[in-house]
Amino acid sequence: MNLHGWIDAYMSHLHVERALAKNTLDAYGHDLARLATSVGDLDPARIDLEQIAKLLADNLATGFGARSSARQLSTLRGFFRFLVRERAVPDDPTALIDRPRLGRRLPRVLSFEEVERLLATPDATKDRGVRDAAMLHLMYASGLRVSELVSLRVDDLDLARGVVTPLGKGGKRRLVPVGEVALTTLTRYLNDVRPRALKKPTSALFVSPWGKRFSRQGFWAILKRYAAAAGIRSAISPHKLRHSFATHLLRGGADLRAVQAMLGHADLGTTEIYTHVAREQVRASHTKAHPRA
């Protein structure tokens, strides 16, 4: 079996046995397609260190950054380790290639004041405003990914216990608390607004005025509009709300592992970056406010 066949086998392995999310699978597929374009559809056993190094060098020449190169090298290593296990190649040609050095890029977050202005912007006298406020409050209160937010079912929200159980990466569910303010907004949406928007039965928690499940793009457009109305001048995205949720929790004294569980991070190291953001904000506040700073 030549390279394209093994790529298909590996992608099937990632999808079925490891149950990776679609966006992650797309990234793997893109990286392996670049490999196939670079070396051709040959027997993987003929791919050597020099060909891999040339691919990575060519990528840098076309504008790949260090993070993109590191991700692609990680993809290739996973692929060749799979081939070694399947006895398709004798050894891993990526084993001697050093991973690109990455600087720590801290996520940008909203301030407490910016979040307060954002959440207060929807017009609560209109159905659309109540629905939008419920989505914004829930996303900030629980640190959900946008894909998790728009895919929520009514049954995923337990108002009595004050928790939500989103479906995260790899098809894994987790239990996340929802604050009192968000619960109040969600209760009004569920009782007064959602029933009027339904055209036919659906399990989707958030629906458009046409009764259809909300899309990621639809929520992104709403968020940008409210951010502009709230006077937030920095770039905004759904993930920025998630970053803000984690950073504000840690600034308030939350346990790092509790934040990890709420975010659905498999690796504690992924969550630890938010501790650096919190420290930077504390330092900046001290520098600005202290007379001897």
Closest of 276, 248, 246 to residue 258, by C-alpha: 246
137 is catalytic: no
- Catalytic residue, chosen from 239, 257, 279, 283, is 239
* CB-based contact 164:138 (threshold 8 Å): yes
169 is catalytic: yes
- Catalytic residue, chosen from 34, 242, 248, 251, is 242
- Catalytic residue, chosen from 140, 189, 226, 274, is 274
Alpha-carbon span 87 to 163, nearest angstrom: 47
Alpha-carbon span 112 to 256, nearest angstrom: 20
Phi and psi angles of residue 155, each rounded to the nearest 5 degrees, phi first: -70, -15
Query: Residues of 229-242 as b/e, b for ≥16 C-beta within 10 angstroms?
Result: ebebeeebebebbb
4 is catalytic: no
292 is catalytic: no
- Catalytic residue, chosen from 145, 243, 248, 251, is 145
Four-residue CA torsion sign, 13, 18, 24, 27 = negative
15 is catalytic: no
145 is catalytic: yes
Catalytic residues: 145, 169, 239, 242, 265, 274
